A = this chain, B = another copy of it.
Amino acid sequence: MTRPIPVSFTAGASGDWHILAIHPVAGPPLAAAARLSVTSGEAPPPGLWTLTGSTSNARYATRAETDGLAARQQGLGRPAATRAALIPITKNPDWWALAQDERRAIFEERSRHTAIGMDYLPAIARRLHHCRELGGPFDFLTWFEFSPEAEPAFDAMLSRLRATEEWRFVAAEVDIRLARD
C-alpha cells in the first residue's frame, strides 16, 4: 500500500476519454461535456467541472477479502479496456452516523458489496477514490475500466449493487460512461 494518490477528473473540451453519457441516478446531475481528463500529481486542466478524490486504505475488506480481490483483479490501463465509467456517490447522514460494525454489517454481511464485485473480476477493473474529507459534493468517486464486450456485465453488476440495503443510504449518484480510441 503506497501513500494515497490524489486524482482529479475534469470534464471539458479536452482529455483522453469521450463522454458518452451522464446519467443522474439519484440527486442533482453534472453538466454535460465532450471529454474527460484524468490527472494525478499535476494541476487539473480548466474545464466545466472537476471532481478530486484520493486513493486510500480499504475501510471494510478483511484480509481474506483483500487477498481474494488481489488474486483476481487486474489493473487500470489495459489496452482492451476502451470503455470506462466514473460513478460519484454521496451517502446520507444516516450512513455516516453508523458505527464501524454497523456499516460493515450492511456493506458486506447483508449487501455483499465485495462479493458482488468479485463476480465481475477480472473483466471490470476498479479504483476507488475517497473525497468526503476533501470538501465538494461527493463522498466517493469510483472509476471502472472494461472492454466494450463487458459493458452488459458491468450494467448487471450495478443493478445488483443498487438493489442492496447499502444503496438505501445513497443520497446522490451519477453514472458517467466513457470511451477512448
Contacts and interface: CB of A to CB of B under 8 A. Distances in A.
Interface in A110-159: 130, 132-135
Contact of A99 (B66, B134, B135): B66
A54 B97 CA distance: 16
A102 B62 CA distance: 7
Nearest to A132: B4
Contact of A100 (B2, B4, B60, B97): B60
B100 A104 contact: yes
Interface in A33-87: 54, 56-63, 65-66
A62 B97 contact: no
Interface residues of A, number: 29
Contacts of A63: 98-99, 101-102
Contacts of A98: 63
Given A1-B93, A93-B1, A56 B132 contact: yes
Among A1, A63, A133, the one with the most B-chain Cβ atoms within 10 Å of its Cβ is A133
Nearest 5 CB-CB pairs, A to B?
Answer: A54-B133, A63-B99, A62-B101, A1-B97, A1-B96
Interface of A: 1-2, 4, 6, 54, 56-63, 65-66, 93, 96-102, 104, 130, 132-135
Given A59-B100, A63-B98, 16 more contacts: A2-B93, A4-B132, A6-B133, A56-B133, A57-B96, A58-B99, A59-B59, A60-B100, A61-B99, A61-B100, A63-B99, A63-B102, A65-B99, A66-B99, A100-B104, A130-B133
